[in-house]
A and B are shown apart, each in its own frame.
Chain A
Amino acid sequence: MQDVNSPLDDEKKADTSAKTILNLKNLSIGYNDPLVSKISKEIIAGESIAIVGPSGIGKTTLLRTIAGLIIPVSGEISHTIPKRGGIGYIPQKLGLIRHSSVRNNIALGARTRRSRWYPALFPLDRSLKNDIEDAMESLNIKDLANDPVRILSGGQQRRVAIARTLIQRPQLILADEFLGELDSENIKSIVKATKKIIEEIGATLIMVEHNEERARQIADRIWRIKGNELIEDGDFDQ
């Protein structure tokens, strides 16, 4: 991904740019052949977007491309997000370290808040440690702080993944079906906690969700992948 600092001509343009966090320009994504082509979208800071569509159509590939894990087939992704800690990514399999404790998993997100030149083995300072405790508290996993992640239930693991991402205070959160196959009670509480914290830190959310009903619970905009095109449903708040 490239950082964009292109000079803007007029004041109006500059205003728009101040709000635009991510710009996808004529983007084609895929591995060798493009799965989805001609994606041109502008994402404003604070928006919540859900990408919906059937399995295998390219939702995850789009998310991974935005995360900088896959090089686009063609087109350009530009953004103003810092490389370190600016993006919080929750993959489909959550990306947790199974043998590490809940606290250590969340600490991974906190590490991005200090300089990249800080030695990796140096302990976190007191304020970051306090933030980890607060994050566990707000997601109801404080009792599990010292348990290895592998023994937690699916719902608990999702809370850990969310806490790890939120403690980064990222500008952009990319979540790939992070609600998974949870029961409705768990979904309600996780959605509530996530929305609250996202609002607090003012992050932008792009999530992949195969269940459209759930997507509408969280997202302001719905991007639907059909064939090899991305179509936007519109703003649900309007």
Chain B
Amino acid sequence: MVISINKKLLFTGTILLVLTMVFLDDLVEDWGQIEDAPEKLQTFFSEDLWPPDWSVLEAEVWVDGSLHKPNGDICDESFELFCSKAWTGMVVTLKMAFIATLIGFIVSIPLASVAANNLAPLPINLAARIILAGLRSLPSIIWALLFAIAIGFGPLPGILAMTLYTIGYLGKLQYESMEGIANSPLESGMAMGLTHSERLFHIVIPESSNHLLSQLLFMFEYNVRHGAVLGLVGAGGIGMYIDNYINPPFDYDRAFALLIVVFVVVVVIDLISMFIRSFVTEEGDVKRPKWWTILLPAGMAMDYYNQKGVTKKSSNLEESE
């Protein structure tokens, strides 16, 4: 049995790899173009990107020596950082991402609940899925472009673009999570005669809360990262400053510094996400393994934990049954 599974796995793996190679070879016309790519990248990195120009963390100094915010207002903050392009841009991007993610989440939850096949009949599933697919078919930058044409530049087209894309993208993740919950609580609810909204709010959402929270925070992070891209079409936020720097006169080192700021914010959001999700995951109920034990063979790691009594809490639970 094991051998036949391995053979199947090997066969499928080989087919997928061969297909990848065939498609790649079909798409790439000149393999010679990657020969000097590392050198080009190294030159670009050492001459244009490195070291990052951290002046983006400072206020603008005008000829009279006064400090100003990027919009020209006098900097009267206690820390100069608060008047910098990185800070003001990132604050706008975070606000945009916050609004878009929250509104997107509020709209996508009911849509996802009728798109999930364990919560609604097939025709309604299909209609909801078509709406969600339509919203996410256009990348947020195209939505931003459309809204920039319609209502002009600034954060508003960015927010609208992020919101629509969030509904489509988050909605898909949500209905798949909802479909993945255990049948048993849902069946109890159906037999009890609970309505669709009661099952949604009191069974499905709590039961899939771990995934929904993770997706919500991921979407917020995604929207923050995309704030850097949406600036390219004049949608405001930190992306607008990055866009200014990657256009003539090409201040790549400043753009690089702003990208590092985006990276740091993304890492912080991820840590916050981990903390928030710890309330609805079972990870919090058991002791974490030591990081270095992942380097040990499984048997040795098990011996270590048995000696240290790391499984004490779970055995306590068993005793209480």
Give A contacts to B, CB under 8 Å: 64, 67-69, 82-100, 104, 107-109, 111-112, 116, 119-121, 150-151, 153-155, 164, 168, 170, 174
Q: Name the one of B188, B198, B200, B317 contacting A111, with C-beta atoms under 8 angstroms.
A: B198
Contact residues in B for A98 (Cβ distance below 8 Å): 207
Structural contact, B191 and A116, CB atoms closer than 8 A: no
Contact residues in A for B186 (Cβ distance below 8 Å): 95
> Is B206 interfacial (CB 8 A cutoff)?
yes
Given contacts A92-B184, A96-B185, A100-B202, 13 further A-B contacts (CB under 8 A): A67-B191, A85-B193, A88-B191, A89-B191, A89-B192, A95-B184, A95-B186, A104-B206, A108-B203, A112-B193, A119-B197, A120-B202, A164-B188
Contact residues in A for B209 (Cβ distance below 8 Å): 99
Contact residues in B for A153 (Cβ distance below 8 Å): 317, 320-321
> Is B78 interfacial (CB 8 A cutoff)?
no
Structural contact, B195 and A97, CB atoms closer than 8 A: no
Taking the nearest CB of chain B, how far is it from the CB of A91, in angstroms?
A: 5
Q: Name the one of A96, A107, A108, A151 contacting B285, with C-beta atoms under 8 angstroms.
A: A151
A154 touching B321 in the complex, CB below 8 Å, given contacts A97-B206, A104-B202, A120-B198: yes
A202 to B114, CA, bound (A): 37
Q: Name the one of A67, A97, A168, A170 contacting B185, with C-beta atoms under 8 angstroms.
A: A97
A93 to B182, CA, bound (A): 10
Could you give 14 example pairs across A and B, Cβ below 8 Å? A67-B191, A82-B193, A88-B192, A89-B188, A89-B192, A92-B184, A99-B206, A108-B194, A108-B202, A112-B192, A112-B193, A120-B201, A155-B321, A174-B191
Contact residues in B for A84 (Cβ distance below 8 Å): 192-193
A170 to B191, CA, bound (A): 11
Q: Size range of the interface on B?
A: 20 to 34
> Is B303 interfacial (CB 8 A cutoff)?
no
> Is B310 interfacial (CB 8 A cutoff)?
no
A116 touching B193 in the complex, CB below 8 Å, given contacts A95-B187, A111-B202: yes
Smallest Cβ-Cβ distance to B321: which chain A residue: A153
Structural contact, B188 and A91, CB atoms closer than 8 A: yes
Structural contact, A109 and B320, CB atoms closer than 8 A: no
Chain B interface mostly helix, strand, loop or mixed? helix
Taking the nearest CB of chain A, how far is it from the CB of B53, in angstroms?
A: 47
Closest 8 pairs between A and B when the two form their complex, measured CB to CB:
A95-B188, A89-B191, A84-B193, A153-B321, A120-B197, A67-B191, A93-B184, A95-B184
A95 to B282, CA, bound (A): 18
Taking the nearest CB of chain B, how far is it from the CB of A169, in angstroms?
A: 12
A86 to B192, CA, bound (A): 7
> Is B280 interfacial (CB 8 A cutoff)?
yes
Structural contact, B317 and A68, CB atoms closer than 8 A: no
Contact residues in A for B207 (Cβ distance below 8 Å): 97-100
A86 touching B193 in the complex, CB below 8 Å, given contacts A108-B202, A153-B317: yes
Taking the nearest CB of chain B, how far is it from the CB of A29, in angstroms?
A: 16
Contact residues in A for B195 (Cβ distance below 8 Å): 116, 120
Structural contact, A68 and B197, CB atoms closer than 8 A: no
Taking the nearest CB of chain B, how far is it from the CB of A186, in angstroms?
A: 8
Taking the nearest CB of chain A, how far is it from the CB of B176, in angstroms?
A: 18
Q: Name the one of B191, B194, B203, B320 contacting A69, with C-beta atoms under 8 angstroms.
A: B191
Structural contact, A87 and B191, CB atoms closer than 8 A: yes
Contact residues in A for B280 (Cβ distance below 8 Å): 99
Contact with A along B260-294 (1 / 0, CB 8 A): 00000000000000000000101001000000000
A100 to B282, CA, bound (A): 12
> Is B52 interfacial (CB 8 A cutoff)?
no
B191, B195, B198 — which one has the most chain A CB atoms within 10 A of its CB? Answer: B191
Structural contact, A108 and B321, CB atoms closer than 8 A: no
Contact residues in B for A90 (Cβ distance below 8 Å): 188
